[in-house]
Chains A and B, each alone.
Chain A
Amino acid sequence: GDSVTQMEGPVTLSEEAFLTINCTYTATGYPSLFWYVQYPGEGLQLLLKATKADDKGSNKGFEATYRKETTSFHLEKGSVQVSDSAVYFCALSDTNTGNQFYFGTGTSLTVIP
């Protein structure tokens, strides 16, 4: 079945450091891939998405490239800020299971000044 495996956390970085959060997936169809973010006390918000192989999703300085050959969708940011502190969830939605999203465990990121 479909699944998402996400890098274990928590992750603590200094401001302006480079961020990578790894995500790999298994899917039976042609999935769309997403990164959601949850700030403290808030719901999950879409950060970025990619709908087909080699697409790059980007938003707020974050990027992720849909790599079919490695079944990966790693999240990156060149210079993190304190305000990026949140929990990040990798997710997929598959053409074969259009009603469902499959999520990873979430990675908690803390950025210290």
Chain B
Amino acid sequence: EPEVTQTPSHQVTQMGQEVILRCVPISNHLYFYWYRQILGQKVEFLVSFYNNEISEKSEIFDDQFSVERPDGSNFTLKIRSTKLEDSAMYFCASRPQTVQSNEKLFFGSGTQLSVL
């Protein structure tokens, strides 16, 4: 089965630094997502992206966050000035062309971000 690829698998950064988390969605998918999971808490929706723009975002996705699809294959999440509370596992996901509620998401293996 095709895979969503995320890099790096682990990222350690200092508070206040910028980080970029990278994802390569499945090639013929058109909908892209970022989720995160703080240790012991729920997997939370951050943002969805379609047709080169954000289609939905959660309250978590404030001005410190941005997403980009710079070259038609990569899908990145940038955190401009990291805070301790940004420490979490970040999951990228993609979905095929159809957007129906019973269509599954394909997830990457995640990037564990640790902010010190």
Q: Which residues of A contact B (CB under 8 A)?
A: 4, 29-32, 34, 36, 41-46, 49, 51, 89, 91, 93-95, 98-106
Q: Scoring B residues 64 to 86 as 1 if CB is less than 8 Å from chain A, else 0, what string do you get? A: 00000000000000000000000
Interface contact B55-A106, CB-CB below 8 Å: no
Given contacts A43-B108, A43-B110, A103-B35, contact A98 B42 (CB under 8 A): no
The size of the chain B interface, using a CB distance under 8 A, is 30
Q: Is the pair A93, B109 in contact by a Cβ cutoff of 8 Å? A: no
Bound-state CA distance A36–B110 (Å) is 14
Contact pick for B56, options A32, A94, A100, CB 8 Å:
A100
- Contact check, A98 vs B99: say whether CB atoms are below 8 A apart: yes
Smallest Cβ-Cβ distance to B1: which chain A residue: A45
Complex contact A46–B45 (CB within 8 A): no
Q: List A contacts of B107 (CB < 8 A).
A: 36, 43-45
Q: Which residues of A contact B48 (CB under 8 A)?
A: 99-100
Residues of B within 8 A of A29 (CB): 101
Give A65 Cβ to nearest chain B Cβ, in Å.
16
Whether A105 pairs with B56 at a CB distance below 8 angstroms is: no
CB–CB B99/A51 < 8 A: no
A98 CA / B107 CA spacing, docked (Å): 17
Q: Which residue of B lies closest to A40 (CB)?
A: B109
Inter-chain CA distance A82–B88, complex, in Å, is 28
Give the distance to chain A from B80, nearest Cβ to Cβ, in Å: 24
Task: List B contacts of A100 (CB < 8 A).
Answer: 45, 48, 56
Complex CA distance for A106 and B31, rounded to whole angstroms: 24
A31 touches B104 (CB 8 A): no
Report the 5 A-B pairs with minimum CB-CB distance, sorted nearest first.
Answer: A103-B43, A44-B107, A32-B102, A43-B107, A43-B109
